[in-house]
C-alpha cells in the first residue's frame, strides 16, 4: 500500500507548514506548538495551557473577543487544544474566508497580548477548564491513572495544569516562557480543505513568512531572566519543535528519578533542545485502592506501560486495541459486558506520547459487582489475547474497523488538520498513521500474539481499584 | 507581492528588551486589518431523491458523489416521548433489545453475532433515541450496503425480544440511571426538561424500569416499527435506484399490520403541554467542585427553524462576549413545544457573581437591537454549521430534519436563513429571556446557598426527588 509523503515545508523564519486538499466547502487551519504539559516548569503546571489561552485571547490588532467575532462573522468555529506534548489552535471556516483566517492566525502567532488584564482573564478560563472534568464522579480515577501510571515523567501532571500553581505567576514570567517555547520556529501550520495551492503558498509566505524568527538566544535569555527573578521557575528540557526526532536516532539520557523531579535546563539558542525525558520502567505489579465518594458504581483500571509514540511497535498496539476494545464485538465488551455482565461499560485506550505511553483498560462495574473481581476479569481477558487464537475472521474485522478509523480522518478538513498536526507533534511525522496502516494490514494473528506475550503478559501492571464509599488504602 | 519579513519582530523581543509592558506603536502597513473576503459563493443546491415501497416504507437518498462510504439509517417512531405513563424508559429498553437477538433465514443471531456483523462493516451499530424517533445507524463501503440493510431488516422485522434480554438491558438501564444521577453533566438535560415541562416530561426511574414487562416491549415494537411509518435514509455515492433495490430486497416483505395494533398510550403528548411556571432551583450534588448552570425560556410554537437558529446563535455570541465562559445553547423541540436552553459549568466560587451578572444581562442582551452586522454574523454561522454537518455527518442532519418534519428547511437552509430579517429576529429575541419567563437550575456544588440566593432572588433549594420525581 503506498504511503503518502507528508513532509512539511520550512519558511525562512523556521515555521513549518503543510497543506492537504480536501473536497468540500470548508477550510481548516491548525497551528500546533510543540509545547505542552510536559514542558511546564516545575511548580508551574499549566503554564503552557495559560500561554495558549493568551495567544488565543488578544493580540496587537485583535482586541479581546475580536478573533471570535471575526471567525463567527465568517461562519467559522474555533477551538484550542492542550495536550501533554503540544498546544494547538484550530479553526474551520468556509473556504472563501481562508485568507482572512490566515491573517488572523499569523497575527495571533506573532503579536499575542500578554498583560495583567489578559493574564487575569486567561487564569480564570484555565481554572474553569480544569474544574469542568471534576464534575465527573470518576474524575479521581482518571487522575490516579495519570499520576500513578507514570512513575517519574512530567506526564504525571497532565496537560490542563494546576490553577493554584499559577496564581502568583507574573506577566514577565509568562512572556519569558512564551518567548522560549512558543516561537514560530517551534510550530507547525496545517492547512486543509478547498484551496488553490499556488495562492495558498503565496498567502502563507505573506502572512506567516513575515513573522520574525526568534532572536538567537532569545528564548534562553528570556527564560534565564525570568528564572533569576523567580527561584521556582525552571524550564524542563524538551526536544526541538522544528526538528522532530527520528525514531531510534537520538541517544536517550538516563531516566529521571521519582525522588528528583526534572531539573532545569534552558533550551539552546537554536531552539533545539538537548534532551528528552525518559520514563522509568515499572519494577513490579502494584495495586492501589482509592475511594470515590460520589461515584455510584465501583470501577477499576489496569495500566500497562507502553513505549513512546514513535516506536515501531505502535501498529501492534493499535491492532491489539482493535481486537480487545473496538466496537460492540471487541473481546472485552463481548465477555465482560454481554456474556458475564460484570461491567456496565468499559474502554481500552492507548495514551501515546512523545516520550512514553500507557495502555489503560478501565471499566465501571455492573450493579452488585465490586472492583477487585472486575479488575481480575479485565486482566484475564487482556492476557487471553496471548493464548486464545485470533481467527482470520476476527483479525479481518479488527482491520476493517482500524482502516475505517484511519481513513475517516481524510473526509473533512477539520479532521484531517487535527490528525496531521497531532501526528507531527506527538510522533514527529505527520504521515505516521498511514505508515501504521501499511504495517497492520499485513499483520497475522500469530505475530500479534507473540508480541503480546512479550510486551504485556510479562510486563508489570498497575491495578487501581475504586470501590464506592469508605476509603481503603492509598488515596491516589 | 512585496514581502516584509521583519514586520512582526518587534513584538515579544522588543517588549522584553525594553521591559515595556505597553505596546510599541510601530506602523505595519497592510497587516493591521484582515484582508477583504471575496463574496461568498452561492452554495450548490442540496437535493434529495425519494421513493416509497408498496408497503409504505419511505426511502430518502442524499447523493454524495465520490463519498468512500455510505451512511444508512432506519428511522422509526418510537422515541422517548412515547413512553407510557408509569413505564418511562420503555422506548430506550425496546430499542436496545433489538441488538440482543434476531433471526435470519430461520437461524438465531445472538447479540455477539449482531455486534460482529456490524463491526465487520467498519463502524459499530448505533442505536439512537431522540424525543420522537428511534434510529438504527450503520455505515458501509459501497459494496457492503446490502449487508447493512439486511442487518437492519433482521433487527426490526425479526427481533427476538427475549425475556433474558429484557433482564440484561433493564439491569444496564438501571446502572445508567444511577450514573446519570451522580453526574451533573449527564443529569442536567433531564432535570432541566423536567423543570421546564413539569410532569409532562417523561423521566425514567428505577421504579418505572422495574415495571417493564416483555409484553410491553413486544407491543411497543409492534406499534412503532411499521414500514409505512419508517424512513430508510442513505447518504453516499449511490443512486435512488440502487437504494430502492436494496430496500426492496430486504424490506420489501415487511408487512403492514391490517389494523393499527393496540399499544401502550404515551404518558402525554407534549404537543398540548405548556411550560411549567417559572422556577429557580438549586439541587446540590455534594463534592461536585463545580456547578452546572442552566437557564431556559419558552419560544412560541411554530417559530421557523431558521429563525430559531439565528436567534440562538446571536444570543449565544452576545452572552459569551459578556460572560466569557464556554456556554452551550440549544433550542429543543419536544412534540412541537420549544425550549431555548443555555448552560455552562462554573467553578463554585464564581457562581454568585455570574448569577447576578446573568440576571442583569439576559434581558438586556435579548432586547439589544439587531444590527445588519448581527444578522449577517448569525446567518454566516448558521450556514457554516450546516455546511460542517453536511461534511461531518450528513445522515444525522437529514434524520434530525425528518424527525422534526423540517426536511424542506434543511434542504433550503441557505435560502431560509437569508430570508430572516432583522426586525423579525429582534422580535423573537426581545420576547424571550424576560425575567418572568426565565427558568434557572443549578446542579452540583455552588457553595453556600445564601450568596447565590442573593444574586438570584427566589432561588430555592430543591431535592432530586422534587425535580425528577425519584
Contact A296 B178 (CB under 8 A): yes
Q: Is B147 on the interface with A (CB under 8 A)?
A: no
**Nearest-CB residue to A327 (from B124, B345, B387):** B124
**Nearest-CB residue to A134 (from B176, B289, B390):** B289
Contact B290 A131 (CB under 8 A): yes
Contact B11 A76 (CB under 8 A): no
A343-352 vs A286-292, strand pairing mode = unpaired
Residue B7, pLDDT score: 46
Torsion on CA atoms A375, A377, A381, A382, rounded to nearest 10:
10
Residue B272, pLDDT score: 64
Secondary structure (DSSP) of A125-141? HHHHHHHGGGGSTTHHH
User: Per-residue pLDDT tens for B67-79?
Assistant: 999 999 999 999 9
CA atoms within 13 A on the CB side of A208: 31
Residue of B nearest to A178 (CA): B12
Q: At what angle do helices A171-181 and A47-57 cross, to 10 degrees?
A: 90
Q: Check whether B8 has a pLDDT greater than 80.
A: no
Strands (E) in B64-154, as ranges, are: 70-76, 101-104, 107-110, 126-129, 134-140
Residue A158, pLDDT score: 93
Contact A72 B11 (CB under 8 A): no
Handedness of CA B208, B214, B217, B223 (dihedral sign): negative
Q: Please choose, from the candidates B35, B62, B238, B44, the residue with its C-alpha nearest in 3D space to the C-alpha of residue A23.
A: B44
A9-10 vs A16-21, strand pairing mode = antiparallel
Asked whether residue A17 falls in the same domain as residue A116, the answer is: yes
Residue A337 domain flag:
yes
Q: Residue ranges of the alpha helices (H) in A212-350?
A: 218-229, 314-325, 331-332
What is the distance in angstroms between the Cα of B182 and the nearest Cα belonging to chain A? 7
Distance of alpha carbon A321 from alpha carbon B361, whole angstroms = 49
**Tens digits of pLDDT across chain A (476 residues):** 455 557 899 999 999 999 999 999 999 999 999 999 999 999 999 999 999 999 999 999 999 999 999 999 999 999 999 999 999 999 999 999 999 999 999 999 999 999 999 999 999 899 889 988 887 889 899 999 999 999 999 999 999 999 999 999 999 999 999 999 999 999 999 999 999 999 999 999 999 999 988 876 655 444 444 443 333 333 333 333 333 333 333 332 333 333 333 333 333 333 334 446 889 999 999 999 998 888 889 999 999 999 999 999 999 999 999 999 999 999 999 999 988 999 999 999 999 999 999 999 999 999 889 999 999 999 999 999 999 999 999 999 999 999 999 999 999 999 999 999 999 999 999 999 999 999 999 999 999 999 999 999 999 999 999 988 654 444 44
Torsion on CA atoms B404, B405, B411, B416, rounded to nearest 10:
-80
Burial A334-345 (b: 16+ CB within 10 A, else e): bbbbbeebbbbb
Are A109 and A212 in contact by the 8 Å Cβ rule? The answer is: no
Contact B183 A136 (CB under 8 A): yes
Give the end of a domain, one of A193, A209, A229. Answer: A229
Q: Which domain holds residue A77?
A: 9-229
> What integer best gives the mean pLDDT of chain B?
88
B289 CB neighbours in chain A (<8 A) are: 131, 134-135
Asked whether residue A111 falls in the same domain as residue A206, the answer is: yes
Are B115 and A328 in contact by the 8 Å Cβ rule? The answer is: yes
Residue of A nearest to B351 (CA): A128
Cα angle B3, B7, B11 (rounded to 5 degrees) comes to 155
Helix (H, G, I), strand (E, B) or coil at A361: strand
Distance of alpha carbon A260 from alpha carbon A252, whole angstroms = 18
Residue A266 domain flag:
no
Asked whether residue A295 falls in the same domain as residue A429, the answer is: yes
Q: Worst-scoring range by mean pLDDT, A17-21, B239-243, B299-303?
A: B299-303
Q: Is B27 on the interface with A (CB under 8 A)?
A: no
Give the end of a domain, one of A207, A229, A251. Answer: A229
Contact A73 B384 (CB under 8 A): no
A94 CB neighbours in chain B (<8 A) are: 40, 380, 383-384, 387
Kindly report the number of other CB atoms within 10 A of residue A201's CB atom.
15
Kindly report the number of other CB atoms within 10 A of residue B163's CB atom.
11
A51 CB neighbours in chain B (<8 A) are: none
Distance of alpha carbon A419 from alpha carbon B351, whole angstroms = 37
DSSP state of B392: H
B114 CB neighbours in chain A (<8 A) are: 328
Residue A238, pLDDT score: 35
B447 CB neighbours in chain A (<8 A) are: none
**Nearest-CB residue to A96 (from B8, B34, B41):** B41
Residue A44 domain flag:
yes
Domains along chain B with CATH numbers: 49-251 (3.30.830.10), 274-468 (3.30.830.10)
Contact B37 A414 (CB under 8 A): no
For position A46, which CATH number holds? 3.30.830.10
Distance of alpha carbon B172 from alpha carbon A365, whole angstroms = 11
Phi, psi (deg, nearest 5) at residue B309: -65, -40
Contact A69 B317 (CB under 8 A): yes
Residue A273 domain flag:
no
Distance of alpha carbon A94 from alpha carbon B42, whole angstroms = 12
Distance of alpha carbon B342 from alpha carbon B330, whole angstroms = 7
Residue A188 domain flag:
yes
Asked whether residue A183 falls in the same domain as residue A291, the answer is: no
B291-299 vs B337-346, strand pairing mode = antiparallel
Asked whether residue A73 falls in the same domain as residue A219, the answer is: yes
Q: Which residues pair with B134 in a beta bridge?
A: B76, B129
Are A69 and B318 in contact by the 8 Å Cβ rule? The answer is: no
B33 CB neighbours in chain A (<8 A) are: 61
Contact A212 B31 (CB under 8 A): no
Distance of alpha carbon B104 from alpha carbon A108, whole angstroms = 59
Q: Please choose, from the candidates A378, A356, A159, A158, the residue with its C-alpha nearest in 3D space to the C-alpha of residue A287.
A: A378
Residue A250 domain flag:
no
Contact B115 A328 (CB under 8 A): yes
Asked whether residue A224 falls in the same domain as residue A334, the answer is: no
User: Per-residue pLDDT tens for B40-95?
Assistant: 888 888 999 999 999 999 999 999 999 999 999 999 999 999 999 899 999 999 99
Break chain B down into helix, strand, coil percent, rounded to 5.
50, 20, 35
Give how far Cα B173 sits from Cα of A262, A378, B124, B363, Å: 47, 22, 20, 40
Asked whether residue A212 falls in the same domain as residue A316, the answer is: no
Q: Check whether B222 has a pLDDT greater than 50.
A: yes
Q: Check whether B320 has a pLDDT greater than 60.
A: yes
Give the end of a domain, one of A213, A229, A245. Answer: A229
Contact A364 B185 (CB under 8 A): no
Are A371 and A467 in contact by the 8 Å Cβ rule? The answer is: yes
A58 CB neighbours in chain B (<8 A) are: none
Break chain A down into helix, strand, coil percent, rounded to 5.
45, 15, 40
pTM, two decimals, is: 0.87
Asked whether residue A121 falls in the same domain as residue A210, the answer is: yes
Question: A370, exposed or middle or buried, with CB in 10 Å at 0-12, 13-18, 19+?
Answer: middle
Contact B290 A96 (CB under 8 A): no
Asked whether residue A88 falls in the same domain as residue A188, the answer is: yes
Q: Is B172 on the interface with A (CB under 8 A)?
A: yes
Residue A107, pLDDT score: 96
Listed by number, the residues of chain B in 213-272 with a beta carbon closer than 8 Å to a beta carbon of chain A are: none
Residue A352 domain flag:
yes
Helix (H, G, I), strand (E, B) or coil at A238: coil
Q: Is B388 on the interface with A (CB under 8 A)?
A: yes
Asked whether residue A196 falls in the same domain as residue A312, the answer is: no
Distance of alpha carbon A84 from alpha carbon A93, whole angstroms = 27
Contact A103 B346 (CB under 8 A): no
Phi, psi (deg, nearest 5) at residue A416: -65, -40
Distance of alpha carbon B256 from alpha carbon B49, whole angstroms = 24
Residue A131, pLDDT score: 83
Query: How much of chain B exceeds pLDDT 90, in percent?
Result: 70
Distance of alpha carbon B261 from alpha carbon A313, whole angstroms = 58
**Nearest-CB residue to B35 (from A100, A131, A396):** A100
> Taking residues B210-221, what's their average pLDDT?
96
Residue A355 domain flag:
yes
The size of the A-B interface in CB pairs under 8 A is: 242
Contact B317 A12 (CB under 8 A): no
Residue B271, pLDDT score: 58
Q: Which residues pair with A92 in a beta bridge?
A: A28, A77
DSSP state of A154: G
Asked whether residue A160 falls in the same domain as residue A294, the answer is: no
The strand order across the sheet containing A16-21 reads: A9-10, A16-21, A187-193, A26-33, A87-94, A77-82
Q: At what angle do helices A445-452 and A314-325 cross, to 10 degrees?
A: 100
Asked whether residue A424 falls in the same domain as residue A293, the answer is: yes
Are B320 and B327 in contact by the 8 Å Cβ rule? The answer is: yes
Distance of alpha carbon B286 from alpha carbon B273, whole angstroms = 33
Residue A213, pLDDT score: 86
Distance of alpha carbon A191 from alpha carbon A19, whole angstroms = 5
Rg of the Cα atoms in chain B: 26
Helix (H, G, I), strand (E, B) or coil at A385: coil
**Nearest-CB residue to B387 (from A94, A334, A411):** A94
For chain A, the domain total comes to 2
Residue A261, pLDDT score: 33
> Taking residues B337-350, what's their average pLDDT?
90
Amino acid at each position: 500500500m503506498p504511503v503518502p509523503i507528508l513532509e512539511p515545508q520550512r519558511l525562512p523564519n523556521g515555521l513549518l507548514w503543510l497543506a492537504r486538499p480536501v473536497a468540500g466547502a470548508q477550510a481548516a487551519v491548525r497551528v500546533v506548538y510543540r509545547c505542552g504539559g510536559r514542558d511546564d516548569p516545575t511548580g508551574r503546571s499549566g503554564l503552557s495551557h495559560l500561554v495558549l489561552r493568551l495567544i488565543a485571547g488578544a493580540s496587537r490588532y485583535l482586541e479581546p473577543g475580536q478573533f471570535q467575532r471575526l471567525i463567527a462573522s465568517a461562519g467559522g468555529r474555533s477551538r484550542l487544544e492542550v495536550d501533554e506534548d503540544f498546544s494547538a489552535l484550530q479553526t474551520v471556516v468556509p473556504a472563501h474566508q481562508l485568507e482572512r483566517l490566515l491573517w488572523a492566525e499569523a497575527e495571533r502567532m506573532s503579536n499575542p497580548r500578554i498583560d495583567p488584564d489578559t493574564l487575569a482573564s486567561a487564569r480564570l478560563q484555565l481554572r474553569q477548564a480544569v474544574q469542568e472534568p471534576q464534575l465527573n464522579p470518576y474524575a479521581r480515577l482518571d487522575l490516579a491513572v495519570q499520576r500513578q501510571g507514570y512513575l517519574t515523567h512530567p506526564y504525571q501532571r497532565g496537560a490542563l495544569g494546576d490553577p493554584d500553581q499559577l496564581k502568583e505567576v507574573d506577566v514577565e514570567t509568562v512572556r519569558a516562557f512564551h518567548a522560549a517555547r512558543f516561537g514560530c520556529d517551534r510550530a507547525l501550520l496545517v492547512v486543509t480543505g478547498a484551496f488553490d495551492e499556488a495562492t495558498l503558498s503565496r498567502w502563507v509566505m505573506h502572512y506567516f513568512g513575515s513573522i520574525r524568527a526568534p532572536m538567537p538566544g532569545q528564548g534562553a535569555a528570556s527564560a534565564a531572566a525570568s528564572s533569576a527573578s523567580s527561584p521556582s521557575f525552571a524550564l524542563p528540557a524538551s526536544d526541538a519543535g522544528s526538528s522532530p526526532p527520528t525514531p531510534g536516532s537520538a541517544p536517550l539520557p538516563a531516566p529521571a528519578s521519582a525522588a528528583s523531579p526534572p531539573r532545569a535546563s534552558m533550551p539552546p539558542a537554536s531552539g533545539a533542545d538537548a534532551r528528552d525525558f525518559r520514563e522509568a520502567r515499572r519494577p513490579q505489579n502494584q495495586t492501589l485502592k482509592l475511594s470515590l465518594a460520589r461515584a455510584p458504581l465501583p470501577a477499576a483500571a489496569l495500566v500497562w506501560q507502553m513505549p513512546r509514540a514513535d516506536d515501531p511497535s505502535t501498529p501492534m498496539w493499535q491492532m491489539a486495541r482493535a481486537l480487545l476494545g473496538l466496537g460492540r464485538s471487541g473481546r472485552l465488551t463481548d465477555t465482560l459486558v454481554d456474556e458475564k455482565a460484570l461491567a456496565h461499560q468499559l474502554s481500552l485506550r492507548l495514551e501515546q506520547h512523545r516520550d512514553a505511553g500507557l495502555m489503560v483498560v478501565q471499566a465501571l462495574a455492573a450493579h452488585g459487582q465490586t472492583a477487585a473481581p472486575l479488575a481480575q476479569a479485565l486482566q484475564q481477558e487482556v492476557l487471553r489475547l496471548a493464548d486464545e487464537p485470533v481467527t482470520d475472521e476476527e483479525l479481518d474485522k479488527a482491520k476493517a474497523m482500524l482502516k475505517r478509523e484511519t481513513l475517516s480522518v481524510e473526509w473533512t478538513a477539520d479532521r484531517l488538520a487535527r490528525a496531521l498536526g497531532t501526528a507531527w507533534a506527538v510522533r514527529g511525522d505527520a504521515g505516521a498513521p498511514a505508515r501504521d496502516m501499511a504495517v497492520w494490514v499485513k499483520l497475522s494473528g500469530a505475530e500479534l500474539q507473540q508480541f503480546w506475550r512479550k510486551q504485556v503478559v510479562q510486563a508489570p501492571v498497575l491495578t487501581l481499584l475504586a470501590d464506592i464509599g469508605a476509603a481503603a488504602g492509598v488515596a491516589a | 507581492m512585496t514581502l516584509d519579513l521583519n514586520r512582526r519582530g518587534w513584538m515579544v523581543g522588543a517588549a522584553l528588551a525594553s521591559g515595556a509592558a505597553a505596546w510599541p506603536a510601530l506602523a505595519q502597513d497592510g497587516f493591521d486589518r484582515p484582508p477583504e473576503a471575496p463574496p461568498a459563493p452561492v452554495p450548490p443546491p442540496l437535493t434529495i431523491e425519494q421513493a416509497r415501497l408498496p408497503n409504505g416504507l419511505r426511502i430518502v437518498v442524499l447523493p454524495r458523489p465520490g463519498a468512500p462510504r455510505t451512511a444508512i439509517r432506519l428511522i422509526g417512531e418510537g422515541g422517548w416521548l412515547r413512553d407510557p405513563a408509569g413505564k418511562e424508559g420503555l422506548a430506550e429498553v425496546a430499542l436496545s433489545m433489538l441488538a440482543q437477538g434476531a433471526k435470519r433465514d430461520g437461524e438465531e443471531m445472538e447479540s455477539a453475532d449482531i455486534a460482529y456483523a456490524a463491526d465487520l462493516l467498519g463502524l459499530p451499530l448505533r442505536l439512537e433515541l431522540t424525543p420522537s424517533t428511534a434510529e438504527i445507524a450503520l455505515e458501509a463501503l459501497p459494496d457492503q450496503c446490502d449487508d447493512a440493510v439486511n442487518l437492519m431488516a433482521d433487527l426490526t422485522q425479526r427481533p427476538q425480544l427475549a425475556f433474558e434480554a429484557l433482564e440484561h438491558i433493564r439491569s444496564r438501564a438501571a446502572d445508567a440511571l444511577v450514573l446519570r444521577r451522580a453526574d451533573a453533566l449527564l443529569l442536567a438535560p433531564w432535570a432541566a426538561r423536567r423543570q421546564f415541562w413539569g410532569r409532562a416530561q417523561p423521566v425514567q426511574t428505577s421504579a418505572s424500569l422495574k415495571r417493564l414487562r416483555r409484553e410491553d416491549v413486544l407491543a411497543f415494537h409492534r406499534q412503532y416499527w411499521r414500514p409505512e411509518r419508517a424512513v430508510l435514509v442513505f447518504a453516499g455515492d449511490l443512486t435512488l435506484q440502487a437504494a430502492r433495490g436494496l430496500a426492496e430486497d430486504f424490506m420489501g416483505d415487511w408487512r403492514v399490520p391490517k389494523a393499527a395494533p393496540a399499544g401502550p398510550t404515551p404518558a402525554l403528548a407534549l404537543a398540548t403541554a405548556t411550560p411549567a411556571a417559572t422556577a429557580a432551583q438549586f439541587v446540590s450534588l455534594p463534592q461536585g467542585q463545580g456547578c452546572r448552570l442552566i437557564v431556559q425560556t419558552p419560544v412560541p410554537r411554530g417559530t421557523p427553524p431558521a429563525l430559531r437558529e439565528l436567534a440562538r446563535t446571536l444570543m449565544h455570541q452576545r452572552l459569551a462576549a459578556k460572560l466569557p465562559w464556554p456556554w452551550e445553547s440549544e433550542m429543543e423541540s419536544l412534540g412541537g413545544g420549544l425550549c431555548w436552553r443555555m448552560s455552562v459549568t462554573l467553578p463554585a466560587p464564581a457562581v454568585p457573581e455570574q448569577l447576578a451578572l446573568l440576571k442583569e444581562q439576559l434581558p438586556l442582551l435579548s432586547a439589544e437591537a439587531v444590527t445588519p452586522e448581527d444578522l449577517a454574523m448569525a446567518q454566516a454561522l448558521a450556514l457554516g454549521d450546516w455546511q460542517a454537518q453536511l461534511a461531518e455527518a450528513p445522515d444525522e442532519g437529514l434524520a434530525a430534519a425528518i424527525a422534526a418534519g423540517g426536511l424542506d428547511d434543511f434542504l433550503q437552509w441557505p435560502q431560509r436563513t437569508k430570508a430572516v430579517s432583522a426586525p423579525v429576529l429582534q422580535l423573537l429575541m426581545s420576547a424571550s429571556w424576560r425575567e418572568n419567563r426565565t427558568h434557572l437550575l443549578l446542579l452540583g456544588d455552588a457553595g453556600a446557598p445564601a450568596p447565590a440566593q442573593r444574586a438570584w432572588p427566589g432561588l430555592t433549594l430543591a431535592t432530586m426527588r422534587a425535580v425528577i420525581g425519584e
